[in-house]
Amino acid sequence: MRFAFFFPGQGSQSLNMMAGFAGMPIVKAAFDEASAVLNLDLWAMINGGDADLINETVNTQPLMLAAGVAAWRAYQELGGKLPAALAGHSLGEYTALVASGSLLFTDAVRLVRLRAELMQEAVPQGQGAMAAVLGLDDEAVRQVCAQAEKECAGETAEAVNFNSPGQVVIAGSAAAIAHAVELAKAAGAKRAVPLPVSVPSHCRLMKPAAEKLAKALQNTDIKTPQIRVIHNADVAAHNDAVAIKDALVRQLYSPVRWTETVSLLVSEGITESAECGPGKVLAGLAKRIDKAAVCTALVSEDAVRGFIAAH
Active site residues: 90, 202
In terms of residues, how long is the chain? 311
Q: Can you name the residues that pair with 294 across neighbouring β-strands? A: 272
Nearest in space to 25 (alpha carbons), one of 61, 87, 74, 69: 74
- The Cβ-side half-sphere exposure at 131, using a 13 Å CA radius, reads 27
CB 266 within 8 A of CB 40: no
Q: Can you name the residues that pair with 7 across neighbouring β-strands? A: 88
- Phi, psi dihedrals of residue 74, rounded to the nearest 5°: -65, -45
Between CA 309 and CA 298 the distance in angstroms is 13
Cα 121 to Cα 127, 139, 169, 205, 255, distances in angstroms: 11, 31, 21, 11, 20
The backbone region for 127, taken as left when phi is positive above 0, alpha when psi lies in -120 to 50, beta otherwise, is alpha
Between CA 178 and CA 61 the distance in angstroms is 25
